[in-house]
């Protein structure tokens, strides 16, 4: 009988240690736990759910390949989000059509204003405004506003100085304040 408990009952550190030794079940549990966060990071970066899932899968595969060199000094979540951000940035560079804002037109607008819920429209407008940011600024904004990473963690994640994190974040926020001005005045 195996002395190991079920993967779902194990701590993250135990799962990481086992996955580093080649245990695919343990890694599968890590994937299950971090799937949503990783997909959402990729989704905020590229704006398409299918592409985000592809990016998330690619990120987990890269994580598996580099897991032996992972040291749990920083949380696994940050590490895998870092990979996901870089994968999404790579995808955006390779497939520029996926960031074509025109191609990401509001789906709800086609249904007419009556059928549109105001909150949903606003959410879509926000999503579009975020996608219109340059990828480098968008990555910083996503990690800060949606993932709650500190400036230091963002700097480590993207491999940039803290000063650059601040300037990119200020730039992104100023752009968003301009593009979403009408919503901010109402609030």
Partner 1 sequence: MTEHVTAWLGAYHDGELQGRRLRQVETHLAHCATCRADLERLRALAALLLESPAAENLTPPERFVAQVGLRLPRRPARPAWQRGLEIGWQLVPLGLLGAWAFVQAVFVVAGAVLVALRMSLEGDVVAGLLPASQQGLSLSETFSLSGASLGDVGRIMLRLLGNRGPLGWGVTLNLVLLVLIGLLYWSWMASWWALRQHRQL
Residues that bind partner 1 (CB under 8 A): 22, 24, 27-28, 31-32, 35-36, 39-40, 43-44, 49, 52-53, 56-57, 60-62, 64-66, 68-69, 82-83, 86, 119-120, 122-124, 126-127, 130, 141, 144-146, 150-151, 159, 166, 169-170, 173, 176-177, 180, 183-184, 187
Nearest approach, Cβ of 77 to partner 1 (angstroms)? 15
Nearest approach, Cβ of 3 to partner 1 (angstroms)? 21
Which residues 6+ apart lie within 8 Å of 35 measured at CB?
A: 56
Nearest approach, Cβ of 1 to partner 1 (angstroms)? 24
- Nearest Cα to 156, choosing from 77, 91, 54? 77
| Nearer to partner 1 among residue 77 and residue 173 (C-beta) | 173
| Nearer to partner 1 among residue 13 and residue 123 (C-beta) | 123
Number of neighbours of residue 126 by Cβ within 10 angstroms: 14
Nearest approach, Cβ of 125 to partner 1 (angstroms)? 9
The three-class DSSP label of residue 73 is: coil
| Nearer to partner 1 among residue 31 and residue 92 (C-beta) | 31
| Nearer to partner 1 among residue 16 and residue 52 (C-beta) | 52
Nearest approach, Cβ of 5 to partner 1 (angstroms)? 18
- Nearest Cα to 174, choosing from 136, 129, 135, 143? 129
DSSP letter for 138, please: H
Q: What is the DSSP string of 13-68?
A: HHHHHHHHTT-HHHHHHHHHHHHHHHHHHHHHHH--HHHHHHHHHHHHHHHHHHGG
**Integer distance in angstroms from the first to the last C-alpha of the chain?**
60
| Nearer to partner 1 among residue 1 and residue 36 (C-beta) | 36
């Amino acid at each position: 009988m195996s002395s190991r408990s079920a993967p779902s009952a194990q701590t993250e550190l135990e799962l990481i240690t086992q996955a580093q030794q080649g245990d695919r079940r343990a890694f599968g549990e890590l994937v299950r736990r971090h799937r949503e966060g990783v997909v959402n990071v990729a989704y905020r970066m590229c704006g398409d759910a299918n592409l985000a899932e592809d990016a998330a899968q690619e990120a987990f595969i890269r994580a598996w390949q580099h897991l032996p060199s992972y040291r749990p000094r920083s949380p696994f979540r940050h590490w895998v989000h870092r990979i996901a951000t870089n994968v999404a940035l790579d995808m955006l560079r390779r497939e520029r059509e996926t960031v074509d804002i025109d191609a990401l037109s509001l789906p709800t607008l086609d249904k007419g204003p009556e059928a549109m819920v105001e909150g949903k429209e606003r959410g879509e407008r926000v999503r579009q405004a975020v996608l219109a940011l340059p990828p480098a600024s968008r990555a910083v904004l996503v990690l800060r506003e949606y993932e709650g990473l500190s400036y230091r963690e963002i700097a480590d994640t993207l491999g940039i100085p803290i000063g650059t994190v601040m300037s990119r974040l200020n730039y992104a926020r100023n752009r968003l304040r301009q593009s979403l001005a009408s919503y901010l005045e109402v609030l």
